[in-house]
Amino acid sequence: MKKNIYNILKGTFLVSDDAFKNWRFILFVSFLAIVMIASSHSADKKVYEIARMKEQVKELRSEFVDGRSRLMKIKMESSVVEIMNKKGLAVSVIPPKKIIVKAQE
């Protein structure tokens, strides 16, 4: 056991007669490590993209709520009357009448 550990530390397993098997395994493990690192970077990039999009959604939702509240204020009858008074139009004192059209056959 002590000799095996010493041979590994010395690196004789890389230059011995059956070193081809060892090199294949080392290359395979290296390839797997590279694939794992690339996958990790890709996952991190996606996490950052998701976080950025969540912030963008929050901003857009805030803009939507703000726009909707401004629209509600503009649509209020008092606001409409005030704007029309500035333009010279006044609220009618005569109530509206319903017009009924009879169908002609």
For 25-41, the pLDDT digits (tens) are 888 999 999 999 999 99
Q: Where are the alpha helices (DSSP H) in 76-91?
A: 77-86
Q: What share of the chain is helix, strand, coil (3-state, %, to 5)?
A: 75, 0, 25
Look at residue 77 and tell me if it is in a domain. Answer: yes
pLDDT at residue 11, rounded to an integer: 76
Q: What is the pTM of this model?
A: 0.55
pLDDT at residue 42, rounded to an integer: 97
CA distance 45 to 103: 67
Look at residue 17 and tell me if it is in a domain. Answer: yes
Look at residue 91 and tell me if it is in a domain. Answer: no
CA distance 66 to 80: 19
The pLDDT confidence band at residue 18, using thresholds 50, 70 and 90, is confident
Look at residue 27 and tell me if it is in a domain. Answer: yes
15 pLDDT more than 80: no
